[in-house]
Amino acid sequence: MGVSDATPAFSMRGALQSGLVIPAHPLALTPSRTMDEAHQRALTRYYVAAGAGGIAVGVHTTGFPIHDDKIGLYRPVLELAAETATAALASSPRPFVRVAGLLGDTAQALREAQVALALGYHCGLLSLGAWRDATDVQILAHCRRVAEAIPLFGFYLQPAVGGRRLSYTFWREFAEIPQVVAIKVAPFDRYATLDVVRALADAGRDDIALYTGNDDAIVSDLVTDVPVTSGGRAYTRHFVGGLLGQWAVWTHRAVSMLREMQDWRASGATSVPRAWLTRGAALTMANAVIFDAAHGYTGCLPGILEVLRLQGLVRGCWTFDTHERLSPGQAEAIARLSAQYPELVDDAFVAEHRDAWLA
């Protein structure tokens, strides 16, 4: 059964443009690799209570294997998240953007788009992992076809976790697709990141919201005004929010941080507080541990789940890939993060509400 947004005057494009914290929703599993429904609901309730402006489900952080028909969890996982979020928002309605991860060839992506729309999702985050050897022309044809079925949240995923390099020319043409509402820019590369910003400006698409997916440069992305030109007009663009695996943890603090930055922008101040840059460096160092950057991100998903396990929000850091596990020393490093970076964590907030979310 589909669900609708809790606010009747909801505008997806307007909500995205306002700037949101959108956690990439993990998947809570049992030791036998079945969905742990109680803890999965608790995660969704956590994100709503923390003040997130939406959730992204069926994305890399959720685990791409749920898209496999043999596992058969794509619809159940999306449905559970949508229904839980709707119930959690009932007492205090607000705009809440539901983003569905879309995967595979065009036929599969279209099937998944139909499922997502039926469940009340507003747009699709289109992964291009299955198109790593395709030409730009082929990929753009795929994107245009899927955009006819569901509004697109573009996705520049770094190659280390299944993405591919995409040129300025690709993004310039992608920006011509009318149904594109936002782009998650996550190549973990400054040159590539700025290519996307420049392409949107050159296309004149100020209506496409920029979302950072660069977990290694969250604060830098959010406080930087990028100089661009369009039609002879010089101006700046900036990332309005983030759709991040890092924001699947410590979400309450992420919401506070983004609101602080939004207030700073609204004040008209031009100098970036040095304390934010220090916080940004701390967040990048913490993310390096959680995402297991030292081992090429092999422990990325288990790392996210381990943070949530320590908070009591999931029972373990299991994924569908039995070979995917924490790297040597990663668990010990994650256990030290709360003491090392107390300004980043939301352990007290979670502890206060966890039992209610699990009920």
How far is it, in rounded angstroms, from Cα 70 to Cα 188?
32
Q: Give the strand pairing for 123-126 and 152-157.
A: parallel
Q: Find out whether 279 and 344 touch, Cβ atoms under 8 Å.
A: yes
Residue 3 has pLDDT above 70, yes or no: no
**Between 161 and 327, where is the model more confident?**
327
Task: List alpha helices for 128-250, DSSP H.
Answer: 136-147, 168-174, 190-203, 218-223
CB neighbour list of residue 339: distance below 8 Å, 6 or more residues apart: none
What is the per-residue pLDDT for 160?
Answer: 66
pLDDT band at 4; cut points 50, 70, 90 = very low
What is the per-residue pLDDT for 220?
Answer: 96
**Between 313 and 4, where is the model more confident?**
313
How far is it, in rounded angstroms, from Cα 75 to Cα 81?
10
Q: Which pTM does this prediction carry?
A: 0.95
With residue 110 as reference, give the H or E element that holds it. helix 106-118
What is the per-residue pLDDT for 6?
Answer: 45
Q: Which residues pair with 229 in a beta bridge?
A: 234
Residue 7 has pLDDT above 90, yes or no: no
Residue 98 has pLDDT above 50, yes or no: yes
With tokens 């020319």, the residue in question is 169
How far is it, in rounded angstroms, from Cα 54 to Cα 43?
13
Share of residues in the chain with pLDDT > 90 (%): 88
How far is it, in rounded angstroms, from Cα 295 to Cα 255?
29
What is the per-residue pLDDT for 161?
Answer: 66
What is the per-residue pLDDT for 130?
Answer: 86
Q: Find out whether 160 and 296 touch, Cβ atoms under 8 Å.
A: yes
What the block records as the tokens of 261 is 């930055």
Q: According to the 3-state scheme, what is the secondary structure of 262-307?
A: HHHHHHCCCCCCHHHHHHHHHHHHHHHHHCCHHHCCCCHHHHHHHH
Share of residues in the chain with pLDDT > 70 (%): 96
Tens of pLDDT, residue by residue over 120-164, are 999 999 999 889 889 999 999 999 999 999 999 999 877 766 667
Grouping H, G, I as helix, E, B as strand and the rest as coil, residue 213 is coil
Q: Identify the DSSP state of 28.
A: -
Residue 5 has pLDDT above 80, yes or no: no
Mean pLDDT for 254-279 is 94
How far is it, in rounded angstroms, from Cα 152 to Cα 179?
6
Residue 229 has pLDDT above 90, yes or no: no
For residue 74, report the phi and psi dihedrals to the nearest 5 degrees. Answer: -60, -55
